[in-house]
Amino acid sequence: MAPLTSAKTRPVRLADIAKAAGVSHGTASNVFARPEIVREEVRERVKAAAEAMGYGGPDPKGRLLRAGKVNAIGVATAEPLSYFFEDPFARVMMASISQACDATGAGISLVSAANSEQLAWNIQSALVDGFIVFCVDGGSKLVELARDRKLPFVALDLDSDDDDEAVAAIGVDNIAGAGLAARHLTELGHRRFAVLALPCADAGFGPTTREQMEKALYSGTRDRLRGYFAELARVDIDISKVPIYETTNDEKSVWAGLDHIFAGAETPTAILAMSDRIALHALDWLRQHDITVPGDVSIVGFDGVPEGAVSKPPLTTIVQPIAEMGRLAVKAILENDGSPTSRQSLPVELVVRASSGPSPA
């Protein structure tokens, strides 16, 4: 084949325009990186050559290798990428992370490890200066992978049991928070409880037990349950009778859970929901079944997402300092050069709104 035009249009490199302009590539590089140190005449010549050859500026790929810094932080989760835009908790967290990044000019790379095949690879090949790992589920595997990259990283809401390793982690005291929720309801006179739990095992939902929940993948789940039950036990409620329904944090499983719970003879007057998302779906179910909140049933969520403030009725919940957590996480990545800092546990707060009231009993 004779060269028709130029066959494969191989992208123009800096070296090409250097040659075309008759300067060394060192000078060509300077034209783009530090134009002020290049004589004007030469600068114009190089720029003209670049223009003529359709050169789109120095390729960041090349620069990266030398500079070392990507100027972006990776946010990793074991959920699909859309989790970041659909889950209320994640959204609030991401909004605060992104504000912190904006302030410093850093970019954000979203990396998902939803299927375990790509999981490892996505994390291993992410071009980032550090990781923030969302540990909602399958956290420890993610943390391990992220740590193997030897980059600065922070785990959000890491497994509290997992502190054998010195990893930086930012979380809240789930046990105390759950205790707060339970106590709020017992103080209102409730004695018949039900728990709508976050996922425990892989991708299933249905009634479960305390023993089962102790194996939860994500320790936040475990800790919240422990917190609930410690408080209920404290006021002599027979915790063996409290139904626990494991959900997948979505409408379908929550509704199935409530179908199940309210099918029993002795229906609860108080529901402990492990996330606001669960609680909000529950509110929908209760409304559709003409069960008044908080008249017939009280419900307390967990997280403190903005939607909870405008739901019908507004949700009593345990609010996490989500924005603060995001800010701290970014700060930890950007200021930390790799060495793990200590784990931080932030306080949670009970915010009483209209979804909880005195027991009807």
Partner DNA sequence: GCCAAAATTTGAACCGATCCAACGAAAGTG
Partner DNA sequence: CACTTTCGTTGGATCGGTTCAAATTTTGGC
Verify binding: residue 11, its own copies, rule CB under 8 A: yes
Terminal Cα distance for the chain, rounded: 90
- Considering only residues 17 through 56, tell me which ones interact with DNA, judged by CB under 7 A: 22-27, 29-30, 32-34, 37-39, 41-42
Q: Is the dihedral of CA 329, 335, 337, 340 positive or negative?
A: negative
Is 127 an interacting residue with respect to its own copies (CB under 8 A)? yes
**Type of residue numbered 343:** R
Interface residue with its own copies, options 27, 30, 77, 112 (CB under 8 A): 112
The H or E element containing residue 349 is strand 349-351
63 is an interface residue for DNA by CB under 7 A: yes
135-164 residues near its own copies, rule: CB under 8 A: 148-151
Q: State the binding partner of 114 from DNA, its own copies, none, CB within 5 to 8 A by kind.
A: its own copies
Say which entry of DNA, its own copies, none residue 37 contacts (CB below 5 to 8 A, set by partner kind).
DNA
Q: Which residue lies nearer to its own copies by CB, 167 or 270?
A: 167
Choice from 94, 156, 167, 178 touching its own copies (CB under 8 A): 94
Site membership for DNA, residue 11 (CB under 7 A): yes
Give dist(CA 301, CA 321) in Å, integer.
Answer: 15
Closer by beta carbon to its own copies, 149 or else 260:
149
DSSP tag of 248:
-
51 binds its own copies (CB under 8 A): no
Site string for its own copies, 68-87 (x = CB under 8 A): x-xxx-------xxx-xxx-
Q: Of 210, 206, 56, 200, whose CA–CA distance to 136 is shortest?
A: 200
* Whole-number Å distance between alpha carbons of 308 and 30: 54
Residue 354 partner contact from its own copies, DNA, none using kind-dependent CB cut-offs of 5 to 8 Å? none
Sheet holding 206-208, edge to edge: 206-208, 244-246, 193-197, 270-273, 298-303, 316-319, 349-351
Cα(14)–Cα(25) distance, integer angstroms: 7
Residues at the site binding DNA, with contacts judged by CB under 7 A: 11, 13-15, 22-27, 29-30, 32-34, 37-39, 41-42, 57-59, 61-63, 65-68
